[in-house]
Amino acid sequence: MTSIEDIIINPMRQILSDLDRLKNTGGKLVREICMTGARLFPDHFKPVQTGASLKFTFYGTEFLTRVELPIHDDGLPRVCTYVVVESVPLKLDRLSMDLEFDYLGNVNRSMDIEEAARKFLPALIKQLKAHKVFLLP
C-alpha cells in the first residue's frame, strides 16, 4: 500500500522545489538586468529590486519587471516587463518582450543570463518606440 506521503506530499515537495529553482534562476536574471542597467545608464536607470521583481525608473518612466512561473499549464517561466501607469488602482501595461528561461539559465533558447541582461534595455527602448512612448526629453 502506498502512503499519503508517497501520493501527495512527496510530489508536492518536488513541485515546490522545482518552482523554487525556477524562481531563483529568474531572480538571477532580474539581478543581472538591474546591475547592467545601473552600469550602462547610471544617471537614467533607478532600480529597486525586491526578490524576483524589479521596479525601476528609466528616463522618467516607471517599469516593473518580474518573474512569472507557470502553475496551471506547461508554459515556460518568464520574466515580463510592464509600464507602470499611475492610477487608482495601479495599472500595468504589459510590453511584448518576455524573456523565457529554464533551470539552466538559458534565456529564449539562445542566450545566457548575462547576454540577456545586456540586451534587455536596448530591447526595452525598441519596444517603447514601437508603442510610441518616448523616453528622452
| pLDDT tens digits for range 75-88 | 889 999 999 988 88
CB 92 within 8 A of CB 9: no
Residue with cell 511584448: 96
Give me 108's grid cell.
Answer: 529564449
The answer, as to whether pTM is greater than 0.85, is no
d(CA 106, CA 112): 5
| pLDDT tens digits for range 4-43 | 777 788 888 888 898 899 899 999 999 999 999 999 989 9
